[in-house]
Amino acid sequence: MSASSGFAMNTLPSYIDHTLLKADATPEAILKLCDEARRYGFYSVCVNSGWVPLCIRALEGSGVRVSAVVGFPLGACLSEVKAFEAAKAAECGASDIDMVLQVGALLAGDESRVREDIRAVVEAVKGKAIVKVILETGCLNEEQKRTACRLAEEAGAHFVKTSTGFGPGGATVEDVKLMRAAVSPNVQVKASGGVRDLAAALAMIEAGATRLGTSSGVAIVSGVGGSAGY
């Protein structure tokens, strides 16, 4: 994709959830993330839920939102715990909740458990935040990816998302296309995991992604390759 294809390059920052999810992230690193998001006009910063209050304070008046991950990165905690974390993050000001689905339950074919796990989070933040469901596509075959998309939509999620960045593989153009085709126009697609440069970002958008999760947002909008992965 290029400017000549009709994509307005000046809108690229609004696609980006500027991300820092590492265990060793310090307050200084989180504040740097917020400063970059404010400076470049990214859609949001994406952080672990414990950093939401700091981000809300740092981004006050900027228009940059805060996304919080829950049940991260495994998705295997109790649904009640996942829903509680989501509710607390939303109370602290997070506008987006990026939850990891029950991957093991999906692999076992337990559709009801997967659906109700997602629904618990959706209901916990209803009217306060939108919910993105992380599929961890590197663990799934094509049929399982389609099933996960269907269950996420049935449970009321607003986005389906490729990867945590901590599991096997990351976002691919093929997966974004599959996920876009597997949900209705009411559900959007977020590409995350390995989106490190401008070419990759534009390829994901062309495939159907309306949000990009990346720690390389500055490099992407500068049009150069980033060295830090998500």
142 three-class SS? helix
Max CA separation in the chain (angstroms): 48
* pTM given for the model: 0.94
Which residue type is seen at 172?
A: T
What contacts 226, CB < 8 A, 6 or more positions away?
Answer: 196, 197, 214, 215, 216, 218, 219, 220
Gap between the Cα atoms of 180 and 167, Å rounded:
21
Q: What is the DSSP string of 75-89?
A: --S-HHHHHHHHHHH
User: Choosing from 17, 82, 96, 98, which is the catalytic residue?
Assistant: 98
The segments of the chain whose pLDDT lies below 50 read 3-4, 225-230
Gap between the Cα atoms of 69 and 47, Å rounded:
6
Q: How many CB atoms lie within 10 A of CB 153?
A: 19
pLDDT in tens, 57-75: 999 999 999 999 999 999 9
132 carries an active-site annotation:
no
88 carries an active-site annotation:
no
Per domain, the residue ranges of the chain are: 3-221
**What is the pLDDT at residue 7?**
81
What superfamily does domain 3-221 belong to in CATH? Aldolase class I (3.20.20.70)
126 carries an active-site annotation:
no
**What is the pLDDT at residue 229?**
37
Q: How many CB atoms lie within 10 A of CB 203?
A: 18
User: Choosing from 96, 161, 175, 197, which is the catalytic residue?
Assistant: 161
CB 84 within 8 Å of CB 124: yes
Gap between the Cα atoms of 21 and 165, Å rounded:
9
Gap between the Cα atoms of 164 and 214, Å rounded:
10
Strand partners, 152: none
